[in-house]
Amino acid sequence: MTEPTSPYAAPKPDAPDAPASAAPGAGTAPDRKPVTLQRLLDMHAAGEKIAMLTAYDATFAHAMEAAGVDAILIGDSLGNVVQGLQTTVPVTLDAMVYHTECVARARRLAWIIADLPYGTYHESPQVAWRNAMRLAQAGAHMIKLEGGGWTTETVRFLTERGIPVCAHLGLTPQTVTALSGFKVQGKDAESAARIKAHARELVDAGAQMLLLEMVPAALAGELTRALGVPVIGIGAGAECSGQVLVMHDMLGVGGGRKPRFVRDFMQGSASVGEAFARYVADVKSGAFPAAQHTY
């Protein structure tokens, strides 16, 4: 077999907990270790902010790792920003597997989460497990699925079988048609109570992370304090355990309307790597998101 020639195809470190210095191209801080589920739980408990971004290929995943991103999400937003689709509904499991493999090849340190796309976990927990296995085999450490209530048994089924799950509540893009558009969720008392009940139920069923999209900051803050797992926000305010943005949005190449919660980190950055590093620094310090990014 020939040696890999791509700068992004550096060999894996020998041991799963090998320090970053043992992993070619994996950043400069010698004490950085691969991020584990326990590390994320510890960060949440200690109030240390988690910086997450979406990526869909090895080149950007590599640059994010070098910038100190803790977790990389292969989001089904790839339907919008890579495939040019209007919604994430047509994204296939094969596409998610392909992009997860691309990111996983660059992975040295970051926690890797991959979305189960629409229709791949709706039928039964068994079908969800078979599909989640494909993402796990492609290199995902955790899968993400959207919705509460009807997803609880599936989350239990997956986590009991050793697949870590991130539950996505609030604005759920896969059902944006049913929600009548990209609108803030949990604004009134009834829908806030529903989100809180679903979040508690999902964590009790085994979900080890919650992602909240487009919900009032006060609601996200309350859940972050109440739940024993990291709460990652996108348009959910600064009190969350961490933040995520779609990479194209935070590089200012998302196109279309810029949601309120997005900040373009390319402005004032000399390179993509610098934009990633500034995002990490601002998430860690609490400077991002600011009031103007919050509902």
Q: Report which of 123, 196, 63, 263 is spatially closest to residue 145, judged by C-alpha positions.
A: 123
- Residue 235 CB, shortest distance to ligand KIV, in Å, is 9
Residue by residue, DSSP assigns 123-146 as S-HHHHHHHHHHHHHHT-SEEEEE
Binding mask 109-148 for ligand KIV (x = CB under 6 A): ------x---------------------------------
The residue (of 220 and 244) whose beta carbon lies closer to ligand KIV is 244
- Active-site entry in 48, 213, 239, 274: 213
- Residue 240 CB, shortest distance to ligand KIV, in Å, is 12
Q: Give the binding range for ligand KIV (CB under 6 A) out of 72-80, 123-131, 150-158, 260-268.
A: 72-80
Q: Any idea how long the chain is? A: 295
Determine if 95 is a binding residue for ligand KIV (CB under 6 A): no
The residue (of 77 and 154) whose beta carbon lies closer to ligand KIV is 77
Torsion of CA 184, 189, 191, 193, to 10 degrees: 130
3-state secondary structure of 44: helix
Q: Are 72 and 113 in contact (CB under 8 A)?
A: yes
Judged by CB under 6 A, the residue of 63, 192, 244, 262 near ligand KIV is 244
Judged by CB under 6 A, the residue of 32, 34, 40, 54 near ligand KIV is 54
Judged by CB under 6 A, the residue of 57, 76, 239, 249 near ligand KIV is 76
The residue (of 75 and 125) whose beta carbon lies closer to ligand KIV is 75
Give every CB contact of residue 260 below 8 A, 6+ residues apart in sequence.
235, 292, 293, 294, 295
β partners of residue 166? 144, 209
- Residue 23 CB, shortest distance to ligand KIV, in Å, is 26
Closest residue to ligand KIV in the complex (CB): 75
Judged by CB under 6 A, the residue of 57, 61, 69, 77 near ligand KIV is 77
CA 133 – CA 36 distance, rounded (Å): 19
Q: Report which of 239, 165, 240, 245 is spatially closest to residue 209, judged by C-alpha positions.
A: 165
Buried b (16+ CB within 10 A) or exposed e, 198-235: bbebbbebbbbbbbbbbbbbebbbbbbeebebbbbbbb
Determine if 165 is a binding residue for ligand KIV (CB under 6 A): no
213 is catalytic: yes
Determine if 216 is a binding residue for ligand KIV (CB under 6 A): no
Cite the active site residues: 213
- Site residues, ligand KIV (CB under 6 A): 54, 73, 75-77, 115, 213, 234, 244, 246
